C-alpha cells in the first residue's frame, strides 16, 4: 500500500521542480511572440486613434483658414505653371499665394513640415525596428488624411463630391487634384501599413 503513494509523491516532486535557467529562457522565447502580438495590437489601436484625432486638428485648422479668407467652395488658382500632370495629381507653381498672403503661406508650409515631423516621431516611438516604424508612419499618415476629409465634411460640408479639386500640399511645390486621389492612396497606405506592422519579425 505504501509504494504507490511514494511513486505519486516522486512524480509530483518531479513535475513541480523549479525550471532551470535554460528552460526558463526557452519558455520566455516561446511566449515572446504572443506578447509582442498583443503589444502590437494595442499600439495599432493607439496609432489609429492618434491619426484620427490629428485629422480633426488638421480639419479645424483648414476650417479656420477658410473662414478667415472667405473661402467660397474653391481655390482661386490663376497664373500658374504646370510642372507635372499625372492626371490624378498635378504639380504646379503659382505667382500669387493661394492663401491670404505670402506670410500666411509660409506659416502653412512650416505647419505642413511640422506635421510630417510629428508623424515621424510617433512612428519612431511606436516601432521596434525599421519595418514597424515605416508601417506606423503609413498608418498614422493614412488615418490623418482620411479623417481630415471626414471631419472637414462635418465642419464645413466640404467637399461636395469625391471629384472636387483640392490643394493637397504646398511642399516643395503646390499639389492639386480631386479629393478621391488622397483617399485612395491613404486607403492603400493604411492596408499596407497594418499588414507590415503586425507581420511577425523574422527572428521569431
Which of 17, 191, 197 is closest to 122 using CA atoms?
197
pLDDT in tens, 58-85: 999 989 888 887 776 555 566 678 899 9
Least confident segment among 4-8, 38-42, 104-108, 193-197: 4-8
Please give the DSSP secondary-structure letter assigned to residue 99. Answer: S
Residue 198 has pLDDT above 90, yes or no: yes
Residue listed under C-alpha cell 523549479: 18
Domain spans of the chain, in order of start: 48-198
Beta-sheet pairing, 165-169 with 174-178:
antiparallel
Cβ atoms of 118 and 141 closer than 8 Å: no
Please report the pLDDT score of residue 137 as a whole number: 98
pLDDT grade for 9, boundaries at 50, 70 and 90: very low
Q: What is the pLDDT of residues 81-135, one digit of tens each?
A: 889 999 899 998 887 777 767 888 889 899 999 999 999 999 999 999 999 999 9
pLDDT single digits (tens) 129-181: 999 999 999 999 999 999 999 999 999 999 999 999 999 998 988 999 999 99
| 84-111: b (≥16 Cβ within 10 Å) or e | eeeeebbbbebeeebbeeeeebeebeee
Amino acid at each position: 500500500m505504501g509504494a504507490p503513494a511514494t511513486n505519486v509523491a516522486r512524480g509530483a516532486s518531479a513535475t513541480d521542480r523549479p525550471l532551470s535557467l535554460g528552460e526558463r529562457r526557452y519558455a520566455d522565447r516561446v511566449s515572446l511572440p504572443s506578447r509582442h502580438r498583443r503589444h502590437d495590437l494595442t499600439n495599432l489601436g493607439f496609432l489609429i486613434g492618434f491619426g484620427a484625432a490629428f485629422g480633426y486638428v488638421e480639419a479645424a485648422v483648414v476650417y479656420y483658414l477658410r473662414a478667415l479668407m472667405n473661402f467660397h467652395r474653391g481655390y482661386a488658382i490663376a497664373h500658374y505653371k504646370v510642372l507635372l500632370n499625372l492626371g490624378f495629381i498635378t504639380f504646379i507653381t503659382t505667382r500669387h499665394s493661394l492663401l491670404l498672403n505670402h506670410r500666411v503661406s509660409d506659416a502653412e508650409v512650416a505647419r505642413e513640415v511640422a506635421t510630417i515631423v510629428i508623424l515621424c516621431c510617433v512612428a519612431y516611438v511606436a516601432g521596434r525596428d525599421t519595418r514597424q516604424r515605416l508601417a506606423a508612419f503609413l498608418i498614422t499618415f493614412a488615418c490623418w488624411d482620411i479623417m481630415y476629409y471626414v471631419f472637414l465634411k462635418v465642419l464645413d460640408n466640404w467637399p461636395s463630391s469625391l471629384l472636387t479639386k483640392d490643394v493637397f500640399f504646398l511642399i516643395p511645390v503646390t499639389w492639386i487634384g480631386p479629393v478621391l486621389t488622397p483617399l485612395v492612396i491613404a486607403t492603400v497606405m493604411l492596408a499596407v501599413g497594418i499588414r507590415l506592422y503586425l507581420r511577425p519579425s523574422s527572428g521569431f
